[in-house]
Homo-oligomer: A and B are copies of this chain.
Amino acid sequence: MQGLGRRARAAARQVALAPADKRNAALKAMAQALRERAPAILAANALDLAEAKAAGQKESFIDRLLLNEVRIAEIAEAVASVAELSDPVGRVLATWEQPNGLVFERVATPLGVIAVIFESRPNVTADAGALCLKSGNAAILRAGSDSFRSSTEIAIAMRQGLEAAGLPGDAIQLVPTRDRAAVGEILAGLGGTIDVVVPRGGKGLVARVQSEARVPVFAHLDGNCHVYVHAAADLEMARNILLNAKLRRIGVCGAAETLLVDKACAATHLKPLVTMLLDAGCAVRGDEATQGADPRVTAATEEDWATEYLDRIIAVRVVDGLDAAVDHIERYGSHHTEAIVTADEAAAQRFLAEVDSAIVLHNASTQFADGGEFGFGAEIGIATGRMHARGPVGVEQLCSFKYRVHGSGQIRP
């Protein structure tokens, strides 16, 4: 494992200095290799699937693990599309001149070595490897033991692509063991060779990574997202946004989990919104006022306000004004994504300023919490920490920066 880290560090320096067209050529070659290696990948996947089925894994688990011709083509396409993104490395983020004539530039540079720890989805091997390379970083990928064989075959294609473009194959390495101790070594930083860890998977994994990692982590544990229907909300807009935020996809981190309805519009808005959710097959757990709106509403407990259901369930509460809404979100929320629906611009400004979440939206669905929807092209995850990367983590967020200073012989007085 320590050798893995040293090789990643050496490769990181080479890919950091490689020109964009070389990194892009590698991405295209990877896509090609993935397509060509489809039979080998499918054969490995069949073994992983057989083992998972024998172990009695759930349907949803099997589906995450499953690869087929179409999915491999999609994976290859996703890798190729990363090549089309604009180059994040070397962007001049700021430039200014001091009175002594020194010209300062703040320039984006790769972060270094990024470790990605994931579970059953073997496509992460390709997605994460591609995003790391695009941003000039080396990747150490730790696959879940369930997808180990599939990921190993995908990683071979990634290495082929790197080498075809004249880049070091070690720039994308899969941890070559199912041994669980490897995760602990990665979280300890692998002898100082890892700059950041990105967990991709369920809450158990994220919680372990956040509590054990001795290196920075880009992640979010919960996406307990809120929709606040303000006193001045248009009911029709609130309906559309709420339905989309809660039910477009229930399993994504940007799915709404709690609806807050302002007391001032509860008389007109609460019942239609609650009935709409119930009629759409979403269970509603509400406070007393909400229980009064429809007999199908059950009582919400304190725990409901803090729960990320990822299910066809929503918690609903009537709040007394914007301050109460913000207080509720600060108390129970996870600093991920929250939306206000209102026609009152001043109220929206206050909500966007006062809610301390990575993403705050006015009159739009919380399900826009996604790097693709932000225009980032692709994301490696969404972070709720306040350091370095917050919100969707795309290739620009996988960069650090440095200062270039141009002088003409200046010395400091």
Stoichiometry (number of copies): 2
Tell me the chain A residues, 223-256 only, with Cβ under 8 Å from chain B: 234, 237, 240-241, 243-245, 248
The answer to whether B409 touches A237, judged by C-beta atoms less than 8 angstroms apart, is yes
Interface string of A357-379 (1 = CB under 8 A from B): 11111111101101001110000
Closest chain B CB from A116 CB (angstroms): 16
Report chain B residues within 8 Å CB of A248.
Answer: 411-412
B112, B406, B412: the one within 8 Å of A362 (CB) = B406
A356 near B: Cβ within 8 Å?
A: yes
Report chain B residues within 8 Å CB of A134.
Answer: none
The answer to whether A102 touches B402, judged by C-beta atoms less than 8 angstroms apart, is no
Report chain B residues within 8 Å CB of A111.
Answer: 386-387
A104 near B: Cβ within 8 Å?
A: yes
The answer to whether B368 touches A410, judged by C-beta atoms less than 8 angstroms apart, is yes
The answer to whether B112 touches A374, judged by C-beta atoms less than 8 angstroms apart, is no
Number of A interface residues at 8 Å Cβ cutoff, please give it.
61
| C-alpha spacing A410/B373, complex, angstroms | 12
A184 near B: Cβ within 8 Å?
A: no
A98 near B: Cβ within 8 Å?
A: yes
Closest chain B CB from A404 CB (angstroms): 5
Report chain B residues within 8 Å CB of A410.
Answer: 363-365, 368
Report chain B residues within 8 Å CB of A405.
Answer: 359-362, 364, 368
Closest chain B CB from A397 CB (angstroms): 11
Closest chain B CB from A141 CB (angstroms): 20
Interface string of A372-393 (1 = CB under 8 A from B): 0111000000000011101100
The answer to whether B403 touches A360, judged by C-beta atoms less than 8 angstroms apart, is yes
| C-alpha spacing A51/B330, complex, angstroms | 46
A145 near B: Cβ within 8 Å?
A: no
Report chain B residues within 8 Å CB of A409.
Answer: 234, 237, 240-241, 363-364
Residue of B nearest to A400 (CB): B386
| C-alpha spacing A359/B390, complex, angstroms | 25
Report chain B residues within 8 Å CB of A352.
Answer: 404
A281 near B: Cβ within 8 Å?
A: no
A407 near B: Cβ within 8 Å?
A: yes
The answer to whether B359 touches A403, judged by C-beta atoms less than 8 angstroms apart, is yes
Tell me the chain A residues, 264-308 only, with Cβ under 8 Å from chain B: none
The answer to whether B387 touches A400, judged by C-beta atoms less than 8 angstroms apart, is yes
**A244-B412, A388-B388 known; 4 other A-B pairs, CB under 8 Å?**
A98-B375, A356-B402, A364-B411, A373-B412
Q: Could you list some 9 contacts between A and B, CB below 8 A?
A: A98-B375, A240-B409, A243-B411, A359-B405, A362-B404, A365-B412, A367-B412, A374-B403, A388-B388
